[in-house]
Chains A and B, each alone.
Chain A
C-alpha cells in the first residue's frame, strides 16, 4: 500500500464534507488511505442534514447520515478539518502539494463537550443562515441542534470583541476552558497523491423573485425554507407555519420554476416536491395541496409509485405549459397560470417553488485553483467514459459538482471517485 512511495503520495485530499465527501473519504479510509477531509463550514454533513425525511422511504435524514458522520469522526485514517478552505494547489497527479487555510474557530474541539452553556449569555443576535434566516442565533453558535462536530464556533465578524468591546460572556459561561479568543487563522501544507472535489451545489433562486420570503411575497418559499419548516430541529420545530405563524390552509408547489432560465432540468425537484406534498398532508389537517407541473420527470424504479401514491392523498394536479406567474396577495400568494388554453388563477396561503440546483459558490475559483474545466453552466466537466474524473489527471469529482443528482447517484459517484483514486495511486 504505497510503502515504496514518498510520504504523502498515497494520501488523499477530499474537498467538501457533505454526502459525497463523507462517502468518498470513508471508502478511501477503509482501503487504508489517509484522508484529509476539508469543510468550509464549522460543521459537516452538507445539505442532507437540512432535510427532515428523504425519498423514497421517508427515512429520517439526520438519522440516516449520522452513523456515517460518526464513522468519519472515529476513523483514524480521516482527518476532518472544518472551517478550512483550499488556497493553492501545486504539483501533479501522484504528487500534489496543497496549501489549506484554516479559519479560527475560537472554540477548542478537544475541550468543548457541546453543552451549549455559552449561547445564552452571548449578547449578539443575528439571522441564522442555516435556517434561511427564519430564526436567530448568537455570535457563538452551532448551526442547528445535532450538527457535528458537536461544538460551536464564534463568528468573529459578529462578535462584540471584533468591535473593540471586551465582552467575555461566553468564556465566563464555559466550564471546560474551551473558549480561546487568541485562536488564529492558520495555513497548512499537505502532500497528497490525488484530490476528490465534493463541493456540492448551491440551491439557487433562478425562477424565484428576489423579494421571495419578504414583504408582499413573504409566504412564497424556496425549497430549503420549506424543508426547514418541517425539520423537527428547525425554527418551528417541524410545524409548517406561514410567516404570521398560522397553519396554511392551502399550499401550492410549483415545478420547473427556473428551468427555462437555466437551460437544464434540476432532476430532483419533481421528487422532492412530491415529498413536500406529503409533509403538508402529514402536518396540516384538511390542507389543500396544488402541484403545478410542466413535465413530470420521475425516472427510476421507485419514483413514479411514490408520486402516484402522493397524488392519491388528494393533490390538485395542474398541467401548465409554462411555470405559473406568482405574486403577493395580502398575506397569501396568487398563482396565475394557463391550462388547456385558458388563463386561470388561484389564491393560496403558501407557495413553494422548485429551487434550482446550481454550481456551488466558489466553484469557478476552485476550478481555477485545481486547473480543471467547467461546462457552460459552471459545473465541473468530467471525462466522458470516467464519470468521476475531472479534466485533469489526479483530480476526481463526486456529487452535484458535476450537475444535479439524486442522493444515491451522489453516493455512487463518490465510490467511483474512490475507485479512480485507488487505481491511480496503487491499491
Chain B
C-alpha cells in the first residue's frame, strides 16, 4: 500500500523559529504511520512546489499531509501540485501550524506540542481519505421566467440571446400577465417577435421539478393544454399584492364615499381622476404609510407614488387643494428630495402625523390627526386617497413548496444571502426578482431583472458542462432504515426518500456538502464523503490525545 508523505514547511523563519520542527518530525516518525518526513524552507515558492511534485512522484505516496500556513492561503496551491502528478487532490490534508500555532502561541514548547497534535490528527485522518471524483453534468442553457410583469419581461429580454431560449410565462390571476402592470406594451411585443423568446399568456404552473441545469415546468396554458417546458434555470417574477385597507375602519375605505387608493389611479395619466365621489372635488388628502404598522415594514415606494399622484392631480386641476399626510417621508432615490421640493412648489401641502383617521363630515370627509407635537387637529376634504404598502402574494407559498424555497416572516421569498446573493435562493439555479421578494421600486425591479440575467448568463454558458461539488454526502443503503430525519435536516432539498426501497437518496447535483444529514442520521447511514465518522474519530482522538 502506498504510504503517507508528511511535509513540514518552515515558512522562512515564521514557522521554523517558533516551532521545533525537528522534534515534530522525530515524534511523528516514531509513530510509524508516515513513510517519510521532509522539511522545506518555503513550500509555496516555485522551488517548493517543484520539490513537492517531484517528491510525491518519486515516493508514489497515496496520501499527503502538508503542515504549513492556513489552508485559506495555500490549499488550492498544494491541491494543484498533487493533481499535476496524478494524485487525487482529496488525498491531501493541510495542517495550519502557522496562524494557529507559530503566530498564536508565544511559548515554543507549547507551540511545538500543539503543532505535533495537529499533525498527528491529520496523519491519522488522511489514511482514510478516498479519492473523490469530479463529476460534470450537461446543462440546458434555456431559461423559464414565471411572471410577465415588468420584472419578468425585463429579465426575459436580457436573457434571450444566441444559443439560449427564454420561455416567459404570464401567470393567470397573479397580476403578472404581460402588460398587466406597467410593463411597456412595446417591450412585450418585442419579446413576442423574438425567435429566441416564447411568450405564453394566462398559464397555470402546475409543478416545477428538477435542479440547476435541468428543470421541468408542467404548465397548463390558457387554452387548457398541458405542456412541459425544460430549462436549466428558473426566474420567479410573480409580483405582490397591494395592502388592502378595507379591514381597517379608521381609513373609511370601502365604507365612505370618496376614499380610494393611489394604485387605483395609477393609469389615469390624463385629466382629473375619478375620486369615488359625486361631489365636486376641491380638496384632497393623500394619506401615506397606510398598512405600514400592520405590515411591519416600510414599502419604500409609496411616498414617491403618492407625490406622483398629487402632481398629476395638481397639473390637471391646479385649483384643487392637496395635502399629504405622512409619518416619515421615505425619499431614498438621488432625485427624490428634488421631486419633493418641486411638489411643494406646486402648492401641495405636507403635514406630519403620528396618528390619523378618516371620518364622515357632513357631505364630505374629515381627516383627524395627531400632529408630531401631540396636538390634535382636523382637515375637511372632499376626497381621501390612500398610499398603501405592498404585501406578499398568495402564490409565493406554492412556488416555495415546489422549489424548496424559503419564505421570510412576511411571506416574501428569501435570498440565498441578503447581501451577497439577493436574487439567488437556496435552490441553485432558481432566482426571484421584483416584488415577490419584497417591495421594490421600478428602478429596483430593473436592477434585479438585470442581476438575474447576469447570474444566468454567467452560470449557464451554452455548451459548457457544469462541475459538481465533490465533497458531498452519501447514504449507505444497508444501514439506512428510511426514517427520514435526514430529509428534514437538508436545507437544499437534496435528500429524498425512495419509498419503494425505504431508503434515503442524496441528489449529488443539489448537495452542497454541509453534513447536516450525517449529523441527523441515528444509524450512521448518512455520511459526508470527506468527514466520515472514522475520519473525524481519528482526528479528534489525536487532537485530544
> What residues of B have a CB within 8 angstroms of the CB of A299 in the complex?
298-301, 330, 332, 439
Answer yes or no: B11 CB below 8 A from chain A CBs.
yes
- Which has the most chain B C-beta neighbours within 10 Å: A1, A304, A385? A304
Inside 8 A of A259's CB, which chain B residues have their CB? 337
**B220 at the A/B interface (Cβ < 8 Å)?**
no
Cβ-based interface call for A413 (8 A): yes
B422 contacts chain A at the CB level, 8 A cutoff? yes
Q: Whole-angstrom distance between the alpha carbons of A408 and B338 in the complex? A: 25
In the assembled complex, the Cα of A64 lies from the Cα of B439 at a distance in Å of 25
Q: How far is the CA of A301 from the CA of B331 in the complex (A)?
A: 16
- CA of A341 to CA of B330 in the docked complex: distance in angstroms? 23
Q: Flag whether A393 is at the interface (Cβ < 8 A).
A: no
CB-based contact A411/B450 at 8 Å: no
CB of A340 within 8 A of CB of B296, answer: no
**Is A322 close to B, CB under 8 A?**
no
B161 within 8 A of A: yes
Min CB–CB distance B506 → chain A (angstroms): 24
Option from A265, A303, A404, A416 in Cβ contact (under 8 Å) with B298: A303
1/0 contact trace for A279-314 toward B, CB 8 Å?
A: 000000000000000011111111111000000000
Interface contact B418-A56, CB-CB below 8 Å = yes
A70/B72 contact (C-beta < 8 A), A303-B298, A404-B334 known: yes
List residues 104-156 of chain A with CB under 8 A from any CB of chain B: 111, 113, 115, 117, 150
Among A31, A408, A422, which residue has its beta carbon within 8 angstroms of that of B419?
Answer: A408
Contact A115 B11 (CB under 8 A): yes
Q: Do the beta carbons of A300 and B336 come within 8 Å of each other?
A: no
- Flag if B297 contacts A305 (CB, 8 Å): yes
**Contact status B42-A302, CB under 8 Å:** no
Q: What are the residues of chain A within 8 A of B468 when measuring CB–CB?
A: none
- Given the contacts A264-B335, A340-B373, A412-B447, A297 and B328 also touching, CB distance less than 8 Å: yes
User: What is the distance, in angstroms, from A46's C-beta to the closest C-beta of chain B?
Assistant: 13
A113's partner among B14, B333, B446 (CB-CB below 8 A) is B14
Does B461 contact A415, Cβ atoms closer than 8 Å?
Answer: no
**Interface status of A163 (Cβ within 8 A of chain B):** no
Give the contacting residue for A297; candidates B14, B332, B449, B458; CB below 8 A.
B332
Question: Are A176 and B458 in touch, CB under 8 angstroms?
Answer: no
Pairwise interchain contact A407-B419, C-beta atoms closer than 8 A: yes
Chain B: minimal CB distance from A305 (Å) = 6
Contact B297 A263, beta carbon cutoff 8 Å: no
User: Which residues of the partner chain B approach A418 to less than 8 Å between Cβ atoms?
Assistant: 454, 457-458
Q: Tell whether, in the assembled complex, residue B461 and residue A427 are in contact, meaning their CB atoms are under 8 Å apart.
A: yes
How far apart sit A299 and B331, CA to CA, in the bound complex (Å)? 9
A375's nearest neighbour on chain B, judged by CB, is B334
Asked whether any CB of chain A lies closer than 8 Å to the CB of B176, the reply is no
Task: Report the minimal beta-carbon distance from B59 to chain A, rounded to whole angstroms.
Answer: 27
Q: How far is the CA of A295 from the CA of B334 in the complex (A)?
A: 16
Q: A113-B14, A413-B451 are in contact. Are A28 and B158 (CB under 8 A)?
A: no
Q: Cβ of A403: which chain B residues have Cβ within 8 Å of it?
A: 333-334
Minimum distance in angstroms from A110 CB to a CB of chain B: 8
Q: Which residues of B are found within 8 Å of A388, using beta-carbon distances?
A: 447, 450
Query: B243-261, CB under 8 A of A: which get 1 and which 0?
Result: 0000000000000000000
The answer to whether B76 and A419 have CB atoms under 8 Å apart is: no
Q: How far is the CB of B432 from chain A (nearest CB, A)?
A: 12
Q: Which residue of A lies closest to B11 (CB)?
A: A113
* Residues in chain B near residue A68, CB distance under 8 A: 420
B406 to chain A, nearest CB (A): 13
B13/A175 in contact, CB under 8 A: yes
A427 vs B13: C-alpha distance when bound (angstroms): 48
Q: How far is the CA of A111 from the CA of B458 in the complex (A)?
A: 34
Asked whether B439 lies within 8 Å of A301 as measured between CB atoms, the reply is: yes
- Tell whether, in the assembled complex, residue A64 and residue B42 are in contact, meaning their CB atoms are under 8 Å apart: no
- The reply on A233 being an interface residue by CB < 8 A is no
B209 to chain A, nearest CB (A): 26
Closest chain A residue to B392, Cβ basis:
A301
Distance in Å: Cβ of B486 to nearest Cβ of chain A: 27
Q: Which residues of A contact B330 (CB under 8 A)?
A: 295, 297-299
Q: Which residue of B lies closest to A422 (CB)?
A: B457
Q: Provide the bound-state CA to CA distance between A267 and B444, in Å.
A: 14
**With a CB–CB cut-off of 8 A, which chain A residues contact B359?**
none
A168, B123: Cα distance in complex, Å: 43
Contact A416 B454, beta carbon cutoff 8 Å:
yes
- With most chain B CB atoms within 10 A of its CB, the pick from A340, A403, A404, A427 is A427
Whether a CB of chain B sits under 8 angstroms from the CB of A330 is: no
Residue B536 at the A interface, CB < 8 A? no
Q: Is B448 in contact with A263, judged by CB distance below 8 angstroms? A: no
**For the side of the interface on B, what is the size category?**
35 or more
Q: How far is it, in angstroms, between the C-alpha of A409 and the C-alpha of B72 when the chains are bound?
A: 28
Verify A302–B297 contact, CB threshold 8 A: yes
Residue-wise, chain B 289-308 has the 8 Å CB interface mask toward A (1 for contact) of 00010001111110000000
Rounded to whole Å, the gap between the CB of B349 and the closest CB of chain A is 15
Q: Which residues of A contact B32 (CB under 8 A)?
A: none
Contacting residue for A427 out of B11, B14, B73, B163, CB 8 A: B163
The interface residues of chain B lying within 8 Å CB-to-CB of A404 are: 332, 334
Inter-chain contacts of A54 with B (CB < 8 A): 419
B419 touches A416 (CB 8 A): no
In the complex, which residues 251-290 of chain A have their Cβ closer than 8 Å to any Cβ of chain B? 259, 263-265, 267
Q: Is the CB of B161 within 8 A of A387?
A: no
> A416 near B457 (CB under 8 angstroms)?
no
Quick one: which of A318-376 are within 8 Å of B by CB? 319, 340-341, 375
A265 touches B14 (CB 8 A): no
User: Which of A176, A267, A300 has most B Cβ within 10 Å?
Assistant: A300
Which residues in A have their C-beta under 8 angstroms from that of B331? 265, 295, 297
Question: Are B457 and A295 in touch, CB under 8 angstroms?
Answer: no
A412–B448 contact, CB under 8 A?
yes
A411 to B59, CA, bound (A): 48
Closest Cβ neighbor of A418 among chain B residues? B454
Contacts of B335 in A (CB 8 A): 264
Given A297-B331, A387-B443, A416-B453 in contact, is the A264-B422 Cβ separation under 8 Å?
no
What residues of chain A lie closer than 8 Å to B485, measured between beta carbons?
none
Shortest CB-to-CB span from A326 to chain B, Å, is: 22
Judging by beta carbons under 8 Å apart, are B418 and A265 in contact? no
Chain B residues whose CB sits within 8 angstroms of the CB of A62 once the complex forms: none
- In the docked arrangement, what's the CA distance between A297 and B337, Å? 12
Indicate if the CB atoms of B454 and A264 lie closer than 8 Å.
no
- Interface contact A74-B328, CB-CB below 8 Å: no
Contact assessment for A296 and B455 in the assembled complex, using a CB-CB cutoff below 8 Å: no
Which residues 157-178 in B have Cβ within 8 Å of A in the complex? 158, 161-164
**Cα–Cα, bound, A57→B415 (Å):** 13
Query: Is A379 an interface residue, CB under 8 A from the partner?
Result: yes
Find A296's partner among B328, B372, B447 (CB 8 Å cutoff): B328
For residue A232, CB closer than 8 A to chain B, the reply is no
A-B contact pairs, 24 of them (CB 8 A): A68-B420, A74-B76, A113-B14, A115-B11, A263-B338, A264-B337, A298-B328, A298-B330, A299-B299, A299-B332, A301-B410, A340-B373, A341-B373, A388-B450, A404-B334, A411-B420, A412-B422, A412-B451, A413-B450, A415-B450, A416-B451, A418-B458, A419-B457, A422-B161
Q: A263-B338, A388-B447, A415-B455 are in contact. List 6 more A-B contacts (CB 8 A).
A: A259-B337, A264-B333, A300-B297, A402-B334, A407-B419, A427-B164
A-B residue pairs, 6 tightest by C-beta = A299-B300, A416-B450, A415-B454, A419-B454, A415-B451, A419-B453
Task: Please list the residues of chain A having a beta carbon within 8 angstroms of any beta carbon in chain B.
Answer: 1, 23, 27-28, 30-32, 54, 56-57, 59, 64, 66, 68, 70, 74, 111, 113, 115, 117, 150, 175-176, 259, 263-265, 267, 295-305, 319, 340-341, 375, 377, 379, 385-388, 402-404, 407-409, 411-420, 422-423, 426-427
